[in-house]
């Protein structure tokens, strides 16, 4: 059963709350770290994919998806605080009455703000490197950004629900595993599934959009960015808060009856 893993989810949510209570700035800094780690995944994925994209290879997306898995390893073991995972942790802990809903909403908002700031800072760092200055490298990334900014809102919303359901499982399922190697493999497998499926992740999109903006500002659309980010954020919230937090609380409720 998943009870042991759910107990770890509670403990993690409470740990994050204590960090915030100790220092909101430290909590914000951890949130910035998380989106910077996502940024590393975005860079390696699109850098790898660009080699295959230039050759019109069918392996373009599979190779990008495999390498993007580095991001989740960095977040899990590097101590970042990601909004999308928090939609699950805090909603579950709130349903269990371990955290007040007012604190949950406050922590969601602060982690999202920190993720935005981290994405912006990382994009500026990438701009200074010049690694994506050439069309030979950035065309793949810019094409993906264009598709994301022009996809139908309804499709973006439901892709985002499925995305964060899968991404939260990528953090949750390995909690039951004892071996670090098995945990990393499971995480990367789940992330590969989300990436190759074409689902939408709000923080990954923020990082990708920020990078696209600094390397090609003339062709970046603010309206297109909001067109994507708003429904994707809402969908991610439902995927983590409802399909993970509420669902796991509901299906395991009988096991809580004997608690003191």
Q: Is residue 189 part of a domain?
A: yes
Q: Is residue 260 part of a domain?
A: no
Q: For position 259, what pLDDT does the model report? A: 57
Q: For residues 75 and 69, is the Cβ–Cβ distance under 8 A?
A: no
Q: How far apart are CA 90 and CA 108, in angstroms?
A: 8
Q: For residues 207 and 119, is the Cβ–Cβ distance under 8 A?
A: yes
Q: For residues 44 and 36, is the Cβ–Cβ distance under 8 A?
A: no
Whether the model pTM is above 0.75:
yes
Q: How far apart are CA 41 and CA 47, in angstroms?
A: 10
**How many C-beta atoms lie closer than 10 Å to residue 64's C-beta?**
26
Q: Is residue 259 part of a domain?
A: no
Q: Is residue 118 part of a domain?
A: yes
Q: Is the Cα dihedral 73, 169, 65, 202 positive or negative?
A: negative
Q: How far apart are CA 205 and CA 115, in angstroms?
A: 11
| CA–CA distances in Å: residue 258 to residues 4, 103, 253, 255 | 16, 27, 10, 7
Residue-level pLDDT, tens digit, the chain, 260 residues: 688 899 999 999 999 999 999 999 999 999 999 999 999 999 999 999 999 998 999 999 999 999 999 999 999 998 889 999 999 999 999 999 999 999 999 999 999 999 999 999 999 999 999 988 888 889 999 999 999 999 999 999 999 999 999 999 999 999 989 899 999 999 999 999 999 999 999 999 999 999 999 999 988 999 999 999 999 999 999 999 999 999 999 998 777 655 54
Q: How far apart are CA 72 and CA 100, in angstroms?
A: 28
Which domain, by its residues, includes 76?
3-253
Quote the longest CA-to-CA distance of the chain: 62
Q: Is residue 258 part of a domain?
A: no
| CA–CA distances in Å: residue 162 to residues 41, 156, 204, 242, 246 | 20, 10, 15, 11, 15
- Phi and psi torsions of 162, nearest 5°: -65, -35
**How many C-beta atoms lie closer than 10 Å to residue 200's C-beta?**
26
Q: How many CA atoms lie within 13 A of 102 on its CB side?
A: 0
- Phi and psi torsions of 201, nearest 5°: -115, 120
Considering its fold, how many domains does the chain have in total? 1
Q: How far apart are CA 95 and CA 244, in angstroms?
A: 12
Q: For position 257, what pLDDT does the model report? A: 57
Alpha helices in 198-246 (DSSP H): 202-215, 222-240
Q: Is residue 41 part of a domain?
A: yes
Domain with residue 28: its CATH number is 1.20.1080.10
């Amino acid at each position: 059963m998943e009870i042991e893993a759910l107990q770890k989810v509670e403990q993690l949510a409470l740990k994050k709350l204590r960090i915030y209570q100790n220092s909101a700035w430290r909590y914000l800094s951890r949130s910035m770290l998380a989106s910077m780690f996502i940024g590393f995944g975005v860079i390696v994925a699109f850098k790898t994919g660009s080699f295959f994209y230039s050759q019109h290879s069918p392996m373009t997306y599979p190779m990008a998806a495999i390498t993007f898995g580095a991001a989740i390893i960095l977040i899990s073991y590097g101590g970042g605080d990601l909004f999308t995972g928090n939609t699950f942790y805090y909603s579950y802990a709130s349903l269990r009455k371990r955290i007040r809903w007012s604190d949950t909403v406050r922590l969601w908002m602060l982690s999202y703000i920190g993720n935005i700031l981290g994405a912006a800072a990382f994009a500026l760092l990438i701009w200074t490197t010049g690694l994506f200055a050439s069309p030979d490298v950035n065309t793949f990334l810019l094409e993906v950004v264009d598709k994301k900014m022009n996809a139908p809102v309804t499709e973006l919303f439901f892709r985002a629900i499925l995305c964060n359901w899968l991404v939260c499982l990528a953090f949750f399922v390995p909690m039951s595993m004892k071996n670090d190697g098995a945990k990393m493999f499971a995480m990367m497998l789940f992330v590969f599934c989300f990436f190759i499926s074409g689902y939408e992740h709000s923080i990954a999109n923020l990082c990708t959009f920020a990078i696209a903006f600094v390397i090609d500002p003339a062709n970046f659309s603010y309206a297109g960015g909001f067109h994507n980010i708003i429904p994707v954020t809402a969908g991610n919230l439902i995927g983590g808060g409802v399909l993970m937090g509420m669902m796991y609380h509901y299906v395991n409720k009988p096991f809580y009856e004997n608690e003191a």
